[in-house]
Amino acid sequence: MQISEKSWLDKAKHVPSPFFDYRPENTPVSLLVVHNISLPPGQFGGPYIEQLFTGKLNPQDHAFFEGICKLRVSAHCLIRRDGSIVQFVPFCARAWHAGVSQFADKPGCNDYSVGIEMEGTDFVAYTKEQYHALVKVTVALMEKYPEITLERITGHQYIAPSRKTDPGLSFDWRYYHSLLKHALSALDKS
């Protein structure tokens, strides 16, 4: 998996979102933030996440959507339950995923981070396919943006602890780190 010169993954479905802007000048991409999302809450599949991130969510499709249909939010990528990847915003741009946030005493995580949404909830285990896809995206990001290191990969719950709980207790950080370290080690040997 590679990232093009225009900052799009070569092996992802591209669904451009209007909800992005540009990073502050001379601000390197140096953080990866893992999130979760399901729409309606607790339900997987369907077009609703893509519709939310592109401003096309119909409030009449589900009662929950009435409260979120006008949100202007996005993430760089979504990893679905089957491991397929949807990219909404080029990595060089600022997606609107973190909100009020801080990492290592530096506020405004959207300015310097990439946001990856895992289709899931705080309490339902993620699939192996999702972890493997996340590792592939992570390796591509680390190759493109060397400021992203293992220590600079975090969950939304850790950068906005009073507001957010995702990716939640269901996200297996040990498993993800193990897969990632193995993938990075294989790269070093090649």
86 vs 103: CA distance, rounded Å: 26
Catalytic residue among 5, 25, 66, 117: 117
d(CA 133, CA 177) in angstroms, rounded, equals 13
Bond into 90 cis (ω within 30): no
In sequence order, which ranges of the chain are alpha helices (DSSP H)?
48-53, 128-144, 156-159, 173-189
Contact in structure between 171 and 126 (CB atoms under 8 Å): yes
Secondary structure letter of residue 176 according to DSSP: H
| Residue 135 to residue 187: CA distance in whole angstroms | 12
* Helices 128-144 + 173-189 axis angle, to 10: 50
Whether the upstream peptide bond of residue 167 has omega within 30° of 0, thus cis, is: yes
> 147 catalytic, yes or no?
no
Residues recognised as catalytic: 117
